[in-house]
Amino acid sequence: MTASCRILTWKEGMLAAVGHDLRLEVDRFELSVDSEAIRATFDLASIRCVCARRSGVDAPGVLSAEDTRQIEENTRNLVLEVKRFPTAVFASTSVDREDPEEWEIAGQLQIHGVTRSVRAIAKAVGGRRMAKVVIHQPDFGIKPFSALLGTLRVKPSIEVEISVDP
């Protein structure tokens, strides 16, 4: 099984024009899918910044190597505090596979020491199964990144997409 975990963030604030929407990825994670349950553990120290995004489309080359390094450092250290909270864990509580094209998944997600219920739809797309979850960072005790006295900040809600090649 091949899988990927992509995180999309969006900017806001008075100086949003100088910031970037971002595509991040979690490079190290374990995912198990069987007939009864879905479970995943994500190594948050492995988050890397893939690229900036413009108008919902990846924009490679926009960020300098230094910008990329600073984004990764801020994400790991200031936002997620990976030294205190190194992993995120998901465990399904129910998986409705009645419709083979769309599975309804409910479960518990633990991030930053906080556990909350989440729901997702996992759609069959081009031979892969893709699930998207919107996470409101403050619900997990996470303060979204901000700079320049809050005039540039990451929106509180981010999107996490898991893609699995069965």
Tell me, what's the pLDDT at 95?
93
- Which helix (H) or strand (E) segment holds residue 89: the answer is strand 87-99
State the chain's mean pLDDT as an integer: 92
The predicted pLDDT at position 140 comes to: 97
Residue 20 contacts residue 34 (beta carbons within 8 Å):
no
d(CA 27, CA 10): 21
Instruction: Return the percentage of the chain with pLDDT > 70, whole number.
Output: 96
For residue 131 the two structure tokens come to 């699930």
For residue 18, name the pLDDT band (cuts at 50, 70, 90). low
Residue 16 CB neighbours (<10 A): 15
Q: Average of pLDDT values for 139-161?
A: 87
Confirm or reject CATH 2.40.128.110 for domain 2-165, answering yes or no.
yes
Q: What is the mean pLDDT of residues 34-53?
A: 94
- Sheet with 11-12, side-by-side order of all strands: 11-12, 152-154, 146-147
Residue written as tokens 């864990």? 89
* Whether the predicted pLDDT of 58 surpasses 70: yes
Tokens coding 138 = 């403050």
- Tokens in use for 54? 């413009």
Instruction: Give mean pLDDT, residues 100-107.
Output: 93
d(CA 91, CA 140): 16
Share of the chain above pLDDT 90, in %: 80
C-alpha 119/C-alpha 137 separation (Å) is 15
pLDDT number for residue 35: 80
Q: How far apart are CA 69 and CA 60, in angstroms?
A: 15
User: pTM for this structure?
Assistant: 0.91
